[in-house]
Amino acid sequence: MEGSREDLVKWALEKTEQYLMSAKNNLEEDRPFVAAEEVFRAIENSLEAMLYQQGIKRIAYPGGEKEFTGRLALQFLVRDNLLEKKIISRADYDRYLGYATKLHQAGYRYGSFEEKVLQDALEYAEDLYHRALARK
């Protein structure tokens, strides 16, 4: 998705809000794996909004043979642009990667999320969302 910086930020924040609402609904309906995916998407979209605020226009990262896109590119861009510029802390970055790892591992053991882990992740996703909104 490419466009003006403001449009990209607005799009990412709107998606974050949608994912947060969906995650809450899925938690209420006792669908922890789906809720976890939505929480993680909310985290990713808040980070994308912060990247767009920094002038990034596309979630892509140069690689040796070909360009990285998707979640791997996002991880590199977050590290290079948000962590290095101290827009997020090392603890934020580690938490983000930790949730990515938990989600990946849970894919092999469907439904393996504890409610406390999901609640913590949801609170973190909401915190990132509000931080991205405040930077707007």
Whole-number Å distance between alpha carbons of 12 and 58: 12
Query: Which residues span the domain enclosing 102?
Result: 5-135
In single-letter form, the type of residue at position 128 comes to L
Whole-number Å distance between alpha carbons of 71 and 68: 9
Q: Is the dihedral of CA 73, 76, 79, 81 positive or negative?
A: negative
**What pLDDT does 108 receive?**
61
39-81 pLDDT, tens digit per residue, is 999 999 999 999 999 999 999 999 889 999 999 999 999 999 9
81-111 pLDDT, tens digit per residue, is 999 999 999 999 999 999 888 887 776 666 5
User: 80: which DSSP letter?
Assistant: I
Q: What is the CA radius of gyration of the chain?
A: 15
Let me know: does 52 contact 84? Beta carbons within 8 Å: no
Q: Check which CATH number belongs to the domain holding 61 and give it.
A: 1.20.120.330
Domain count, the chain: 1
Quote the pTM value: 0.91
